[in-house]
Amino acid sequence: MNNKVDFLVIGSGMAGLIYALNVAPFGRVCILSKIEMDETATSYAQGGIAAVMYDPDNIEKHIKDTIVAGAGLNNEEIVRIAITESTERIKELADWGTHFDKESTGKFSLAKEGGHSEYRILHHKDNTGNEIQRALSEKIKNHPNITVLENNLAIDLITQHHQGKLVKRKNSDITCFGAYTLDKNTGEINTILAKTTLLATGGIGNVYQTTTNPTLSTGDGIAMAYRAKAHIDNLEFVQFHPTSLYNPGEKPSFLITEAMRGAGAELVTRNGKTFMHKYDERGSLAPRDIVARAIDNELKISGDEHVFLDTKKISKSEIINHFPTIYAKCLSIGIDITKDSIPVVPAAHYSCGGVTTDQWGQTSINNLFAAGEVANTGLHGANRLASNSLLESAVFSHRAAEKAATLVANIRFETNIPDWNDEGTVLNEEMILITQSKKELQSIMSNYVGIVRSNLRLKRALDRLIIIYEETEDLFDKSIVSEPICELRNMINVAHLIIRMAMARKESIGLHCNIDYPA
C-alpha cells in the first residue's frame, strides 16, 4: 500500500493532536497511533499544566523557577517563549473543551508543585491529562481533514538513505519523506509519503524496570530519528518521579501526584520521621531530582523498600474531591489515604532530552518536526520543573504546526521510494529471545544508569548493552517485522544514547548524578 499525505503525525498524545488540529486547515493529515488513540502518556498525567495566570504570579517568576530546576542548562530563549505563550495555550485548550477546575469566583483553581514559587498548576482534579486527551480527541474525531490510523506502528523514517544514497549525521541536507509503518491489524508494511512529518511519540520510561510511563513509552521516535541521523541531546537527564505507589509487580507504577505534597503531604520514613529538611530547605517540595536522590539515599541507609507519604495535613474532603483517582486506587489495594500514609518509591518518569529542535519544532532533518516528550527543545535543561511537560507539548506543537503550514505548499512528494525490504526474513517463533533481552536491558539501566551513577557502572552498562544490541540487530534483520522486536530495538538504541551521553558528561548536575564527580 502507498499513501500520500501533507502532514504525517506519529503519535496521538497531546503534542500530536494539537499539531494535527492546527495544520488540518492546510492539507490532509494522517495520525498514527501504535495502539488505541487515547492510550497515551498524556492520558495518565495527573497534577496538571503550569501557566502564568494571575497576580502575584508573573512570567519572570515562572522563568526563574524553570531555570533553577533545570540547573541553568536551559535554553533561556525557549524558556521565555514557552512561558510567555502559556496563557494563550491554556485559553486554546479551554476553548477546545478542556475543563480545568475553577474556584467559586470563576477563576481557575491553581495548585502548587515542587520547585514552583507560586500556585500556577491548572488541573482537572487529579486526572488532568485524561481530560485534555478527551477534549482533543473529540475535536479530532469530527475533523474532515484528519484520519487516525490506530494500531499502526511507525518502523522507520524514510530519507535519502532508502534511495541508496549515503547519509551522514553531519549533513545538513537530509530530508524526511515520510515513514514505513506496520499495520498491526493486517501485518502489512506500508509506505506513507508525507510532505512533512511530526514525531510526537512520547517518552522512554520502559527502558527502566520501574516506570510511571505506559507500556507504549519505548523511545520509538528518538530511536527512529537517531537512525535517520538527526541530532539528539540531553538524554542523560532522565527524571525519576519521587513518589510512585509502592505496589510490587504493578506495571506501570501508579503515580502519586506531586500536587499532594503541594497540598501539604510530607515524606516520612517507616518510623514517621520527616527527612527532606536534611537535604533541602524546601523540604518535600524541593525539585524532583533532589527529592528522588534523598529518597534513594534514605532507602540505602535504612534498607527499606519504600518511604511513606504522610497525608494527614490534607483534609478528608480535599483528598476525596481533589485526588479522587489516587484515593480510589489506594483504597483498591487496602490503603485508606484519609487515614493511612502511602508507601512510595521513585520511578523513571520523564526524558528531558530527545530529538533536538529549534523554537519552531524543526529538527536537524528537513521537513521533520518533533514536539512533546520526544523533543529536546531546551526548556527543561538538566531537570524538568513539574507540570512544564504538558506546557511544552502545548506551546511547541502549536509552533511546529504554524511552521509546517507555511512550508507545505512548497514541498513536493518524493518519488523513487522503494517498498520496505523484507527479503529473507522469517517469522520469529521464539518470543523468549525478545522478552529476555528486554528484561536484561531494563535491569542494566535500572541498576547501573539510574538515579545515582558512577563511571564504573556506566562502563558495565555499555559493555553489557553492546551484547544485547548485536544479538537484537541480528534478530531484527532476520525476522518478519513485529511490534515487540521494533520496540526492543528502539529501547536498546535509546539506552545506548543515554549511557553514551551520561559518560560524556563529566560532572554531576540536575538529574545526572555521578559519584565520581561530586556536585
Size of the site for ligand SIN (CB under 6 A): 8
Residue 33 touches which of ligand FAD, ligand SIN, none (CB < 5 to 8 A by kind)? ligand FAD
Please name the residue ranges forming H helices in 323-387: 324-332
Q: Give the nearer residue to ligand FAD in terms of CB position, either 16 or 450.
A: 16
User: How far is residue 183's CA from residue 482's CA, in Å, rounded to a whole number?
Assistant: 10
Burial class (CB in 10 A: 0-12, 13-18, 19+), 175: middle
Options 288, 293, 399, 489, the catalytic residue: 288
CA distances from residue 340 to 220, 268, 330 in whole angstroms, order as listed = 39, 12, 10
Residue listed under C-alpha cell 503515580: 255
Cell readout for 463 is: 559493555
Cell readout for 267 is: 515524606
Q: Give the nearer residue to ligand FAD in terms of CB position, either 150 or 440.
A: 150
Size of the site for ligand FAD (CB under 6 A): 43
User: How far is residue 346's CA from residue 75's CA, in Å, rounded to a whole number?
Assistant: 27
261 counts as catalytic: no
Q: Using alpha carbons, select from 291, 276, 279, 304 the residue that is nearest to residue 241.
A: 291
Q: Using alpha carbons, select from 443, 360, 470 the residue that is nearest to residue 22.
A: 360
Q: Give the nearer residue to ligand FAD in terms of CB position, either 153 or 462.
A: 153
Residue of 47, 242, 354, 378 interacting with ligand FAD (CB under 6 A): 47
**Does 352 interact with ligand FAD (rule: CB under 6 A)?**
no
**Does 69 interact with ligand FAD (rule: CB under 6 A)?**
no
**Does 190 interact with ligand SIN (rule: CB under 6 A)?**
no
Shortest Å distance, C-beta 241 to ligand SIN: 6
* Element housing 62 (H / E): helix 59-69
**Does 41 interact with ligand SIN (rule: CB under 6 A)?**
no
| Count of other CB atoms within 10 angstroms of residue 171 | 15
Q: Using alpha carbons, select from 264, 287, 265, 290 the residue that is nearest to residue 342.
A: 265
Shortest Å distance, C-beta 389 to ligand SIN: 5
**Does 442 interact with ligand SIN (rule: CB under 6 A)?**
no
Residues in contact with ligand FAD, shown as a per-residue x/- string from 368 to 407 under the rule CB under 6 A: ----xxx------------xxxx--x--------------
Residue listed under C-alpha cell 517507616: 270
* Element housing 470 (H / E): helix 455-478
Shortest Å distance, C-beta 519 to ligand FAD: 26
Residue 354 touches which of ligand SIN, ligand FAD, none (CB < 5 to 8 A by kind)? none
- Which amino acid type is present at position 76? E
- Stretch 250-269 residues interacting with ligand FAD (CB under 6 A): 255
User: How far is residue 17's CA from residue 33's CA, in Å, rounded to a whole number?
Assistant: 11
**Does 346 interact with ligand FAD (rule: CB under 6 A)?**
no
**Does 46 interact with ligand SIN (rule: CB under 6 A)?**
yes
Task: Determine how β-strand 307-310 pairs with β-strand 266-268.
Answer: antiparallel
| Count of other CB atoms within 10 angstroms of residue 316 | 13
Q: Give the nearer residue to ligand FAD in terms of CB position, either 98 or 508.
A: 98
Under 8 Å between Cβ of 237 and 335: no
Q: Using alpha carbons, select from 5, 16, 40 the residue that is nearest to residue 361.
A: 16
User: How far is residue 309's CA from residue 267's CA, in Å, rounded to a whole number?
Assistant: 5
Residue of 220, 258, 296, 392 interacting with ligand SIN (CB under 6 A): 258
- Stretch 350-409 residues interacting with ligand SIN (CB under 6 A): 386-387, 389
- Which amino acid type is present at position 228? A
Q: Give the nearer residue to ligand FAD in terms of CB position, either 298 or 487.
A: 487
User: How far is residue 9's CA from residue 29's CA, in Å, rounded to a whole number?
Assistant: 7
The distance between the two most distant Cα atoms of the chain, rounded to a whole number of Å, is 68
**Does 220 interact with ligand FAD (rule: CB under 6 A)?**
yes
Residue of 16, 47, 203, 219 interacting with ligand SIN (CB under 6 A): 47
Shortest Å distance, C-beta 111 to ligand SIN: 9
Q: Give the nearer residue to ligand FAD in terms of CB position, either 235 or 458.
A: 235
| Count of other CB atoms within 10 angstroms of residue 187 | 10
Residue listed under C-alpha cell 470563576: 106
Cβ-proximal residue to ligand SIN, closest one: 47
Residue of 8, 9, 15, 146 interacting with ligand FAD (CB under 6 A): 15
Residues in contact with ligand SIN, shown as a per-residue x/- string from 315 to 354 under the rule CB under 6 A: ----------------------------------------
Under 8 Å between Cβ of 472 and 492: yes
Residue of 136, 216, 260, 286 interacting with ligand FAD (CB under 6 A): 216
Q: Give the nearer residue to ligand SIN in terms of CB position, either 386 or 401.
A: 386
Please provide residue 200's backbone torsions phi and psi, each rounded to the nearest 5 degrees.
-140, 50
Shortest Å distance, C-beta 264 to ligand SIN: 15
Shortest Å distance, C-beta 314 to ligand FAD: 18
Residues at the site binding ligand SIN, with contacts judged by CB under 6 A: 46-47, 257-259, 386-387, 389
List the catalytic residues. 288
Residues at the site binding ligand FAD, with contacts judged by CB under 6 A: 10-16, 32-35, 40-42, 44-49, 128-129, 153-154, 200-203, 212-213, 216-217, 220, 255, 350, 372-374, 387-390, 393
